[in-house]
Structure 1
Amino acid sequence: MTIKPKVTGFFDAATNTISYVVQDPASKACAIVDSVMDIDYAAGRITYDHADAMIAFVRDNGLTVDWLIETHVHADHLSAAPYIQTALGGKIGIGRNITMVQDTFGKIFNEGTEFQRDGSQFDRLFDDGDTYTVGTMTCEAIHTPGHTPACMTHIMGDAAFVGDTLFMPDGGSARADFPGGDAGQLYDSIQRVLSLPDEMRLFMCHDYGPNGRDIAYETTVAEEKANNIHISGKTREEFVKLRTARDATLAMPRLIIPSLQVNMRGGELPPPDEDGKRYLKVPLNGL
């Protein structure tokens, strides 16, 4: 808690995603968390405006990228980690249970035997409690499943990046009805996050501005414990009932089909077909 990294958020309005540059206060090293690759899905067009803004920030501030962290396999935006890695370097890391996600969605998208389901598309697979360094700063990955089996919370000094485990207090929590998700596990993971020091800063992966408020993405453990509308004062049984009922009303995310195909590959697009072009599959009645 004595190490206080500088955290700069980059909000992507198209997907309500917040990506982060996290700077070691004692050096010029940084990590990038949950980057976004832009897609016009209707037109099948990929662009990199969001990633380019992060690249420009890193270069303008003379920073060096040590890590590109994915908190989980996102279902609502495409990762730009390989694109940023090509420009700035760094290692791409995700939770070891990515292999479970790859196995599940490799079947759904009929990827065949050429699609590797061993996590080899990433530079490192984190186990619960693993540490790594960003400059002089020792960081820790803790396993927080429930939204997906591979979700990890990354602790960097007094800042924790929770992915989709939590939203801001007035947003509650993320859904747990994707394949491999589990509302009970999500409750347990949230409790683990909330067992961190009260002053720990928590950074969200998404915010939707509920009730018309401005976009916000930083809170604290104490604020979540006191005010989270899905957690505060609720038992595990009450949370599971609430989460399950709410999930039953939710439509699939708009970009789930392209996002999963790209993100389970570590942010790489599917390989070219015989004609040299790349294609995304739409599994009918598969999700």
Structure 2
Amino acid sequence: MSDPVLAAAAQIHDVEQGLIPTPVVRTFFDEQTFTASHVVHDPVTRDAAIIDSVLEYDAASGRTSHRGAQRIVDHVRAEGLHVQWQLETHAHADHLSAAPWLQQQLGGRLGIGAEIVRVQDVFGKVFNAGTDFARDGSQFDRLFHDGDRFTIGSIQAIALHVPGHTPADMAFVIGDAAFIGDTLFMPDYGTARADFPGGDARQLYRSIRRLLSLPDRTRLFLCHDYKAPGRDHFAWETTIGAERHGNIHVHEGIEEDTFAAMRTARDATLSLPNLIMPSVQVNMRGGRLPEPESNGTRYIKIPIDTL
């Protein structure tokens, strides 16, 4: 099947028919960065993937912590899971990835979208990373292209390229569950910003429309939640049907021009994420901190009057 979205839809149908096990998902929410990290596993084989993990970072002190990641480790070990994949939906600008540390604890191949090389090229220049910083994605074990297939145990999975927030955003459809990163938020909150380098509101609209062509019953697991006005709890799971019919920014009937104008105007009012400087520097390296300097200390650069 040549169309990756049709292939993903067929995969979701197979789950409904009992031909593929229904993946089990456990979410860990980091309230400091409003990030939802997911552990998805095959209930038959106990094979698993960890998606969009968080390494805590205190900007004032420059200290890191593995508290949240340790909760994931504890869960994986308590459930007897075998981690096959550490997946990143994109190079996050609001939190550091804990994937390398989780690899040390639990194993698993580190994967991200192949367009990460564009992000590395842009931000390698922004941070003057030098010639030692490879801009070919070699910091990752697998670079996913649109339509690439893989498995988690006996569960089929497919990667969908969904650029717009950044050039490298990927959604991973695992069984009947889609992990869509920073494209859509909960229906009452809307959509992700598109004003970072390489972002594009029209491209984001087309990526979202592509996702919304999946079956209504598809389970969606989001990367962030910020509590919409009037809602007093965090939420990170919804469905394609709920988004298609009720997303306040991009529900059925919203045209591309209308969305692009709204998104561009809204983005112009937003400040940069608090942790964008450390996050991008680390995440473009596959979640690894910059190499120690001659005194044995690692440093985060802060470019002045650049972004």
Residue of structure 2 in register with 1:260 after alignment? 280
- From 130, 139, 145, the equivalent of 2:163 is 145
1:230 paired with 2:249, answer yes
Residue of structure 1 in register with 2:96 after alignment? 78
1:243 paired with 2:263, answer yes
Residue of structure 2 in register with 1:157 after alignment? 175
Q: Which amino acid aligns with 1:279?
A: Y
1:207 paired with 2:209, answer no
- The CA deviation at 1:91 is 0.2
1:120-153, CA deviations, whole angstroms, 9 ceiling, x for partnerless residues?
0000000000011111111100000000000000
Q: Which amino acid aligns with 1:224?
A: E
- The CA deviation at 1:187 is 0.1
State the distance in 1 between where 2:198 and 2:54 align.
Answer: 23
- From 12, 16, 22, the equivalent of 1:4 is 22
- From 43, 59, 63, the equivalent of 2:77 is 59
Q: Which amino acid aligns with 1:222?
A: G
Equivalenced residue count is: 287
1:180 paired with 2:198, answer yes
Residue of structure 1 in register with 2:295 after alignment? 275
Q: Percent identity?
A: 58
State the distance in 2 between where 1:210 and 1:165 align.
Answer: 16
State the distance in 2 between where 1:179 and 1:7 align.
Answer: 32
Residue of structure 2 in register with 1:117 after alignment? 135
State the distance in 1 between where 2:295 and 2:93 align.
Answer: 28
* Partner-residue secondary structure (3-state), 1:211: coil
State the distance in 1 between where 2:113 and 2:156 align.
Answer: 17
1:170-201, CA deviations, whole angstroms, 9 ceiling, x for partnerless residues?
11000000000000000000001001111000
Residue of structure 1 in register with 2:126 after alignment? 108
State the distance in 2 between where 1:196 and 1:239 align.
Answer: 20
- From 108, 112, 116, the equivalent of 1:98 is 116
RMSD, aligned CA: 0.7
* Partner-residue secondary structure (3-state), 1:106: helix
* Partner-residue secondary structure (3-state), 1:210: coil
1:131 paired with 2:149, answer yes
State the distance in 1 between where 2:196 and 2:167 align.
Answer: 10
State the distance in 1 between where 2:99 and 2:56 align.
Answer: 12
TM-score (norm 2): 0.93
- From 192, 195, 201, the equivalent of 2:210 is 192
State the distance in 2 between where 1:271 and 1:21 align.
Answer: 29
Q: Which amino acid aligns with 1:7?
A: V
- The CA deviation at 1:26 is 2.1
Residue of structure 2 in register with 1:19 after alignment? 37
Residue of structure 2 in register with 1:217 after alignment? 236
* Partner-residue secondary structure (3-state), 2:229: helix
TM-score (norm 1): 0.99
State the distance in 1 between where 2:204 and 2:44 align.
Answer: 34
* Partner-residue secondary structure (3-state), 2:187: coil
State the distance in 1 between where 2:248 and 2:263 align.
Answer: 11
- The CA deviation at 1:212 is 4.4
State the distance in 2 between where 1:96 and 1:83 align.
Answer: 22
Contiguous gaps of at least 5 residues in structure 1? none
State the distance in 2 between where 1:138 and 1:271 align.
Answer: 37
State the distance in 2 between where 1:72 and 1:215 align.
Answer: 22
Residue of structure 1 in register with 2:4 after alignment? none
* Partner-residue secondary structure (3-state), 1:153: strand
State the distance in 2 between where 1:144 and 1:138 align.
Answer: 19
